[in-house]
Chains A and B, each alone.
Chain A
């Protein structure tokens, strides 16, 4: 397999280096570097959005999640993604309308302008930093640990694999800016889709076909065929909370809200939303098949052991090599966008003079990458559940953002401070200082509902002022 890995890997890296060089040549202004020229058409737009959205979490996490929790995994991710793309129609339009005549310097800066309060931007930035850096880290770690296990004979430790991933991301994103990331996303999204289907088909063939897969699954554990699944996790409250958190991703996560702003026009953005919805279905479906393959063949294996077998050891050498590169691609496509978006958010918070230079954004991306790398050394391997915490944490800024965007009247500081308290409560719950559940509902859903109600109340109180 190592021969194939070398061929596929070098081809992939060669394409990325070429795209980085190509986009560097095309970058003629600060706008080109930070916002990729703000003229993305349908194809590039939907591929960069999809590749950023679907990460190592999809290729490694989702098969393992469906192996353990069964068919309800579709509802957890694919259905939530469909809700998310519907929200894009309204949110994308509202956001673009708000920033139509001003330079978009990130959500932090926009919130400062809307609320007339510096802290509004700081709390948003803190939230995305606290929840996105670990998210980037768990993906890097997930892929690195997998590579370490898969290539034991190479004697390369996980931290060195992590360093390689981060180093490469930094190389092309600092050279070509967002344009390089968008082009790379196109390649990475395509690789992810092809790889996940090839492996899905191989797993299906191994199980003796579609019908056999379901009959074997039923014989193995009938609870896998309905929600809430064998462990009872996928209950309505859990799935509703996940739905809200995932639906809020384009609102609250800067790497995706930026992609809504840089679309060429509303028409392209709306079509992009539909395309992302179909892409989500196409990517998630085979991950379920891989998961079912694991539920039948490796029901008691550890997550990394199962993924190692399903994606590499049980596959033909060329397919295994493609899976490794697919994982690299998936981890990089999300990590690059998130690190770059964090850099841009920080730029928006800096003084006008400092924000004009590209140096702060480059240094910030480097700093965030170092933080993610450091965090990746200590994070756990529960990809999906950690990702969900990240989504739920950033979702708490959703009511603050939406309230700010829907009204042109000053909204005071109430929501800014309430959101701050909400995030503190969420963090305390994660540290088990306060309960994770209140009256049968998860703390994430409770806090989100409280903040949403607070935003509605704030709006009505200030409506006539």
Chain B
């Protein structure tokens, strides 16, 4: 049996990759995918805990997160399409209307 710490370590690594992706990539779509990666890293730790604590609550959370993620993707992609239509780019460096 694989120990819990392995799952958590994998989850942490995936989450970190997601964070770094969000921080350093310039393409909105990639940033978006990185966010999904972070969500799924958390899902992994939920499932792992659910298995080890023999409780179903963790899995319920995972379903909730997946539902939210699906909704988020729908809205997010729509926004990205809008931005692309207006600016003809998906590079975040050029989307700086809020600059002070």
Our verdict on whether A and B bind, yes or no, reads: no
Name B residues whose Cβ lies closer than 8 Å to a Cβ of A: none
Chain A residues packing against B (C-beta within 8 Å): none
